[in-house]
Amino acid sequence: MKEQNAIPTAAALLFLYVLTALTGCAPQQGAREARPTSDTIRAQPIRPNSAISEPVEVRILDVGQGDAILIRSAPAAGSAREEEHVALIDAGPANRIVGQLRALGVRHIDLLLASHNHADHIGGMDAILDSIPVRYYMDNGHPASTRIQQRVLERVEAKGVVYLQPRRRTLTVGSARLHVLPAPEGARSDDQNNRSLTVRLEVGRFQALLPGDAETELLNRLLETGEVPRVDVLKAAHHGSRNGVTPAWLSRTRPHVVAISLAENNSYGHPHERAMRYYCAGGRMVLRTDQEGDIIIRVDSAGTYTVQTERNRTVAPPAERGATTACSSYSAADTAAVEGR
Ligand SMILES: [Zn+2]
């Protein structure tokens, strides 16, 4: 994983923080991010490990009511690195994520990122930190205000994981570029959802947007930044909640695929019917983890992608998108009505 400015300019490069070179030395205990010495983090030699079939696999894990998104990138052919590059965005609500990761062959995590610090996103963090080597940790920078967050941050320090500041930055994880978009100023300090980190994932021409539990307030602020592009895949904000989507958000992002991470019969009423009408409009492929299990997106180096779900075992190329199980109860007339057509 290496880091670079999202928009490299000569002036910006002068102030570029670069990650500490780790070749041959362990990170400091409880290290906070250090001043630059190199912009490349070289792999520690670990046995060859490439369980994925494309250069990049994005897997929206079925973790029940919560979020966990696994991003893996195979080592480039001919590179010195033999192990996969691995990032995990959020860790679901519980320890069982460790078993899920192990079953998928995940043996290390380069970057562990918490979109925000609610238990349905960081509940599995401490178990991961106890079980799987992690190199870098990033959260939204909010001071610990709950026991679970405190526990996670203590683990980060105790395990010598390097804490990365949640500023606007681009992290390279193999062939994937993760553009971190911190929440613009303005949200109340205790409003975790509206202080979610958003990640824009880029592989070739492929783009995905992962906005944590952003609510309308944050979605609107992000739109104002001009940094929200048209994307191929959108992770529905806030588990398909009514406050996690707006017509303006969808008309800017124009996703072909919408992935919603949630538990069946959850007590929050997710996904909200109105949100589903928005998402299902326009023939989008809408997939829910409670119906499909894991949602797997495989991306080649040019950015061509396919979508497969764990439970149905069906490969669904975006070109053949259309009515999906999640949208079967929303007619074309219903969805047209919410889009104002
Ligand atoms: Zn959540």
Specify the pLDDT at position 325. 81
Distance 67 CA to ligand 1 centre (A): 6
Distance 115 CA to ligand 1 centre (A): 9
Distance 257 CA to ligand 1 centre (A): 20
Domains in the chain, ordered, with CATH? 51-338 (3.60.15.10)
Instruction: Using alpha carbons only, give the angle 124, 128, 134 rounded to the nearest 5 degrees.
Output: 135
**Cα 28 from chain centroid?**
26
pLDDT digits (tens, 9 = 90+) for 45-62: 333 445 788 899 999 999
Specify the pLDDT at position 80. 76
Q: For residues 261 and 89, what is the distance between their CA atoms, to the nearest angstrom?
A: 13
Specify the pLDDT at position 48. 43
Specify the pLDDT at position 116. 98
Give the global pTM: 0.84
Token readout for 215 is 């609510």
Token readout for 17 is 């923080």
Q: Judge residue 284's burial from the number of C-beta atoms within 10 Å of its C-beta, 0-12 exposed, 13-18 middle, 19 or more buried.
A: buried
Distance 92 CA to ligand 1 centre (A): 9
Residues of the chain with pLDDT under 50: 5-30, 34-49, 336-341
Q: How many CB atoms lie within 10 A of CB 336?
A: 13
Distance 245 CA to ligand 1 centre (A): 14
Distance 47 CA to ligand 1 centre (A): 35
Specify the pLDDT at position 21. 30
Q: Judge residue 32's burial from the number of C-beta atoms within 10 Å of its C-beta, 0-12 exposed, 13-18 middle, 19 or more buried.
A: exposed
Report every protein residue that has its C-beta within 5 angstroms of ion ligand 1: 120, 213
Specify the pLDDT at position 319. 53
